[in-house]
Amino acid sequence: MRANAIQAYSHLESSLCGLFGHLAGVTDQVAGIIFFKMVNARSRIATLERLKRVKYGTERNLFFNSLMAATQALDGERNKVVHWQETIDRAGYYDSTKDIRVILHRPNFSDSSPDDTVIDVAGMERFRDKCLVYGYGALFLRIDWMGRGQKSLRGIFEQPLPYPLPEDHPLAQLLQALDDRDQSLRESP
């Protein structure tokens, strides 16, 4: 599950890189060279916000701002998913009535506090799902700004991108179709 969560974050970064390239008016290759040299996530977001204001002003602000806010929050979660240590939850290890579960925890035990949280499989799944939603949100916003977007999606760019997506949200339907396609590819010989 950890690998899937990291892969989903990679998808989000790639989508943001594409958005950066469009806003900066450079090729995908040049965008990648510049974007992935910016290792500070806050700098990336600030750069995207500035480029967006220059190119589009306040157009699609609600959607774009919600995307940037979620991206900033996901970067903090990404650091935990990548850098925290994986262990077995000991409560279930010694008690046969409890399920054993794998968790991520802060790597420095001497710096922990009683309110430190751990990340379990469900937490990694939520992180993965958020990355996919916001990654595809960035991708489809770029496509729309390039004039190649689906007319059925136009309305979603005038409001914040919600998470979790309602089932009737056009982006949720597209993500479900992609998931169904991926599932059928996994099942084919």
The string of pLDDT tens digits covering residues 34-50 is 999 998 999 999 999 99
* Residue 102 within any structural domain of the chain: no
| pLDDT for the residue numbered 115 | 58
Residue 8 lies in a domain: yes
Indicate whether 22 belongs to any domain: yes
pLDDT at residue 119, as a whole number: 85
Q: Is residue 172 part of a domain?
A: yes
Query: In the chain, how many domains are there?
Result: 1
Q: What is the domain extent for residue 160? A: 2-81+121-187
Query: Of 22-36, 73-87, 94-108, 143-157, which gets the smallest average pLDDT?
Result: 94-108
**pLDDT of residue 58 exceeding 80:** yes
Rounded mean pLDDT, 82-87: 81
Residue 65 lies in a domain: yes
pLDDT > 60? residue 126 = yes
Q: Which pLDDT score, from 0 to 100, does residue 166 have?
A: 92
More confident residue, 2 or 65: 65
HEC-encoded secondary structure of the chain:
CHHHHHHHHHHHHHHHHHHHHHHHCCCHHHHHHHHCCCCCHHHHHHHHHHHHHHHHCCCCHHHHHHHHHHHHHHHHHHHHHHHCEEEECHHHHHCCCCCCCEEEECCCHHHCCCCCCCEEHHHHHHHHHHHHHHHHHHHHHHHHHCCCCCHHHHHHHHCCCCCCCCCCCHHHHHHHHHHHHHHHHHHCC
Question: Is 125 within the bounds of a domain?
Answer: yes
Is residue 86 situated within a structural domain? no
